[in-house]
Amino acid sequence: MDFKQLRYFCVIAQEKSITKAAEKCYIAQPSLSQSIANLEKELGVKLLDRASRGISLTQAGEVFYRYATGVLQEEKQIRQKLLDTDKEPAGEITLCIGCYASTVLRLVSEFKKEYPHVAFRLMEKRKTGEKPDFVIANCREKENDYSSEKLYEERLLALHAKNHPLARRKSVRLEELSGDVFILRSGDELNEPVMTYCRAAGFRPEKIQISPNAETVAQMIALFGGVAFVTEGNCETLPDSVGVWNLTQPDCRRAVYLSSLHNDYENAAVQAFRSRLENYFSQKMGKLEIFNPGSKKIYYGQVSG
């Protein structure tokens, strides 16, 4: 038994597919199957149930998986301790990016230029059993293996056409927009929080148009007389044809959380990248104007659908 076999087994358990695991491990499928067969023979137990609908763990496989993930985590920490004997941060950082993807990827790129011996493994969503070093999302990680801190918060604002009946007002209640056409950007990470806040305000938008990209939002606002949504940090370059409302009752805000995996040993690369994230969002937070601190705030992640 070796670390490579443990990694192969854990990837199969996570992917629930020999084919997908082979692709992820960059190994031929027959070689991967043979490696697991050798592992089962050495242990004297069957670890995997192979069926037409996919791969599942046997009871012994479930037990072995828990121990295997722990052993691999220990191996990672040992390797990192050895790397940290050098002065420059090195090793691997695993990062799950649930929001602010473009910003976080830019920070990763800048960090790698400064520390070329640090490698990043990125994912959009965590799979069962995966424990990345960091999770950046609009809510805290609930697992006990993680501690979470709020990096940043910003309000959601509504965009409208200059000829909208409520255009002269500086703010509107979200429920006042229930009859408007909602213009949502395709794949935008704001879509889910917007829908969540609408449900909290007591309605579901009945008229929705999808904009293929950010550039066409203003044109669609003019075309459909509808409304769109943006964070306050991204409303500095809006065209003159579009107006902006503050949203009240509730004062909708999006929070960004950084959840960090608890490790007995935290390597220098992880420490340096956490500081980079905290410093960036701290500076970004300081540039925002503080609005109406006495109003009721609801953060996405605290509102249930």
d(CA 60, CA 47): 6
* Exposed / middle / buried, residue 99 (Cβ in 10 Å: 0-12, 13-18, 19+): buried
Print the SS3 string covering 64-110.
Answer: HHHHHHHHHHHHHHHHHHHHCCCCCCCEEEEEEECCCHHHHHHHHHH
User: Residue 293 above 50 pLDDT?
Assistant: no
Residue 119 is predicted with a pLDDT of: 92
Q: What is the pLDDT of residue 101?
A: 84
Confidence of residue 291 (pLDDT cuts 50, 70, 90): very low
Distance CA 48, CA 130 (A): 19
Cα–Cα distance measured from residue 227 to residue 213, given in angstroms and rounded to the nearest whole number: 15
Would the pLDDT of 304 be above 80? no
Alpha helices (H) along the chain: 3-15, 18-25, 29-43, 59-83, 101-114, 191-200, 217-224, 268-286
- pLDDT score, position 86: 61
Confidence of residue 87 (pLDDT cuts 50, 70, 90): low
**Burial classification of residue 148, based on how many CB atoms lie within 10 Å of its CB (0-12 exposed, 13-18 middle, 19 or more buried):** middle
**DSSP string covering 119-130, please?**
EEEEESSPPTT-
**pLDDT for the residue 166:** 93
- What pLDDT is attached to residue 305? 35
Q: Cα separation of 93 and 270, whole Å?
A: 6
Provide the pLDDT confidence category of residue 233 given band limits of 50, 70 and 90: low
- What is the pLDDT at residue 121? 92
How large a percentage of the chain has pLDDT more than 90?
Answer: 18
Model pLDDT for residues 260-286, shown as the tens digit of each residue: 988 766 788 888 999 999 989 888 765
Which of 92-106, 116-130, 169-183, 222-236 has the least mean pLDDT? 222-236
pTM over 0.85: no
Sorted by where each starts, the structural domains of the chain and their CATH numbers stand as 1-79 (1.10.10.10)
Indicate the average pLDDT of the chain.
82
Q: What is the pLDDT of residue 50?
A: 81
**pLDDT at res. 110:** 95
Confidence class for position 236, pLDDT limits 50, 70, 90: low
What per-residue confidence (pLDDT) applies to 109?
95
- The 10s digit of each residue's pLDDT in 158-180 is 999 888 999 999 999 999 999 99
> What integer pLDDT is reported at residue 118 of this predicted model?
92
Q: Taking 80 as the threshold, does the pLDDT of residue 51 lie above it?
A: no
Q: Is the pLDDT of residue 298 over 70?
A: no
What average pLDDT score do residues 199-219 get? 85
* Residue 290: per-residue pLDDT: 32
> pLDDT at position 151, please?
87
